[in-house]
Structure 1
Amino acid sequence: MRYFTSSYLSVIKAVTILLLTFPGVIKIAAAEKNHLNNHFPETASVTVTIHVTLSTGESPEGTMLTMTGVQNPSLYYEQTAPSSGEVVFTGVTEANYTIHAALQGFYEFDTVMTITSNRQIPVILREITYKPRNLSVDSLSLRASWQVPDPEEKSLERRLSAIIKPGDKNAVFRSVKRGTGSGHRALSGYGVFLDGLLVGNTTDTSFVFEPLVFGQSYLAGVAAVYSSGYSEQDTSRFTSKFLFPPRNTSGVIPEMTDYGHITWEAPEDPQ
């Protein structure tokens, strides 16, 4: 049997009375501790690997990549992509980040992402392209003509801005148009379309369509050709007034006369 001294029993009795008398003191102390923990949450560092590729298939070397904290801009990380396109950010504090990628000649990329674990982020940058301007079609001759693209012409802002949920491991992010982007690249020609179908290519700024049905409406289109493909089309709707002309027209003026003989053959419709 264990025996307790009178002084030990007195201490037990005092503690019991304190707990019975002031039960709220213990609860308040616990609440204060939780509040402090929530106000200054513990953070962990993770590794973020970004893989950059270009729509042209060229090396992404020189692409500037940054990660900036949404709530805390002092969380800032910056690197330039090598020729492999792989950039590794280590020691990244868990938080919400704006991820930005930029390379001259390509549309800029922005997205907001919550980083709470190691991530692999594939990013595709699209080449800046500009469509031809002021397409028109002569309804009699069926000659289409247009002007070269103007890199200074502003277009509608449509930058990708996606909020990605944690755990989305399969997302591939592509940059899309925003203004004129940064820089532009040379085009190699034009693709000509009729009712959405490619009918020819040219390096000139005009093109003659094959004979079309008289009185029928058509939608002409022209797109600039860049290393990554066709630009957006400039389009123009027209109604064909084309009629096959006479063939083999010739003429002769007899000597010592002021008149001429003109001959021709009837039009021929190969259709």
Structure 2
Amino acid sequence: MKKLLWIVTLFVLYVTLFAQAGSLDNTFGTNGIAIFQPGIGHDVGSEIVYLADGTLLVCGNTKLTGSTCGMIMKINSDGTQNIAFGNGGIVDFQYGTSTYAYKMEVLPDGKILVCGQTYITTSDSEFYVARFLSDGMPDTSFGVNGYNITSYSIEEEYCYDMVRQEDGKIILVGRTFQGSFSSMLFTRFTADGALDTTFGTDGYTMINESIQDEAILNVGLLNDGTIIGCGHGYVSTPLFADCVRMVKLDTNGMPITTFGNNGVLIPPVFTDVSIPYGMKIVNDEIYLTGYMFNAVNDRVIFLTKLDANGIADPDFGTNGITLFQPSVNDHMNCGYDLMFSPDGFIYVCGVSGFGGFGNPRHSILLRYLMNGQLDLSFNSTGYVITSIGPDFDECNALDMQPDGKIVTTGFEADMSVDNDVYVARYYASTLASNISVDLSEIHFGEVAVGDTATEVFEISNLGTASLTYEVTFPDWISSNVLSGTIAVGRTVVIPVQFTPSAAIYYSGNIEISNNSVNQQLVEIAVDGTGLESTWDPPTNLAVDVHSGLFTWDAPSSGEPTGYDIYLDGILQGSASGLEWQFTGLVNGTTYQAGIRAVYNNGFSALATIGFVYEGPSAADDQLAVIGLQGNYPNPFKTQTTISFKLRSPAETELAIYNLKGQQV
């Protein structure tokens, strides 16, 4: 009997630690899914963001008083609604006759940025951007009472996406109707929510590239600030339908005319009807998902990888693109969002099903390898289809928690009633979910060159066994690789130090791994900017090429407490005076001497001087003593001390003579 009980215990432990990758997390909501009815109808989740405190934010649309309004909800880690947020767990906002919220970003200070469109009248919709405090209340310091609305035309403008630049400015994209057809539209707001009239023409860039409808659905930035928009436009022969368009604007919002056709390109990998709904840019590589027609005109999910010129990577997928259709009976398939995981996978979410009004279609989650092939270790097939609503459902957005679990949101529909928001949580790996990290990003901001800023994060063991961990930092972070063991229920604090060596922007990732199984668990994005020091450096640097004596003058302003001395970039030591003797120099070798002044609250920039060491001169060999300080005490009875100074370290003989010239 005892043996039987032991076997059962082991079986339960095995299931807990090794849940199938791609399976729903039953500790969340009901069997891994939470359903919400924030309003009286047409509830949709459009975006989801994981927060460092373990909660989730979902933005989307709902109806509270008969008209559609934007909404933000906060969800607890167990799938229940966080009623302390906003008004009973929800924030709703109306900026016109109806308002839609499509994209959301949580800023480093915890504020929430949301964009979408609002109808000023029943026939005039405009872009809007709004900012909320972390508790859901409007941030009245942004725009006008927390939001701002464009006024591009008296017709309809639809907003689909946004991206925030390093300077805090916000680019919104979508379409504008000019008569019967729409054109691509970009606009930019300042960090405080005002229309940026320096962008494009009076704050807007409109592109009309085809003879029918066009739109920009996604926007991102290259490393140099170039703006990339992806959407669709009409193609006549041979498609007579929409095809993917890629647009390039400079940092001022003007089309880069050397790219494609006056800044607009149909990437050659798209050879049939196609629309992109999700985009991510990583190191100037552009990843897109959406749908494309196959040979029998079924909509199939595509995933592609383009370079900055719109050319597909031939080693990705098949000739630069991967097409997916679960079965020949699934005629309607589309990818809506994608993300990258720290352990090197690409996740895509969307919809798959028979298609057509009233026919079933359901949420789909796929996992790809970085080469564009489906990862068959995920749910044994590379994808999982989840049937949530009684009639149909769609997955609009996804995010990943630090413990590696995937959260998704969208809507589920009962055609006899209405739509409801759903949030689902999936296991991403077979590794036990026993680690928690309190931060997903670390932003050092601006730090003077040579100065040091320190942040910390915590790793907690939430599992049922000891956790061994290893933390690996980018090479520009002062911290080394750290490792250790965390007991169950305990937390360790990890310091992160940033000492910029140059006035540039630094970015990278801190990787946290379970080193007992050599698997990465969590990744923390970290960045900072080095600023030139405002302190004056030492002046009039000089090195005696024969002796190696390094001298300088004090800075023209400020009162340094000392000086750090470098040789070929390596710290040699600290000096309190105005000279330093280099030793061990090799004749004929070129060196670079460096020095920075040390102040109570910072450092000066590093000043340097190059020199070629020539060794002692003939005169130095004859006269090594360059200073004789006399003797003390004087007069004396039995002994005295004679001090002298050498040009460089050397074996020296001191001879003493009396007044008659006789050696004593």
| Greater helix fraction, Structure 1 or Structure 2 | 1
Structure 1 or 2: more strand by fraction = 2
TM value normalised by structure 2: 0.18
Which structure exhibits the higher relative contact order, with contacts defined as CA atoms closer than 8 Å and separated by 6 or more residues? Answer: 1
| Higher gyration radius (CA) | 1
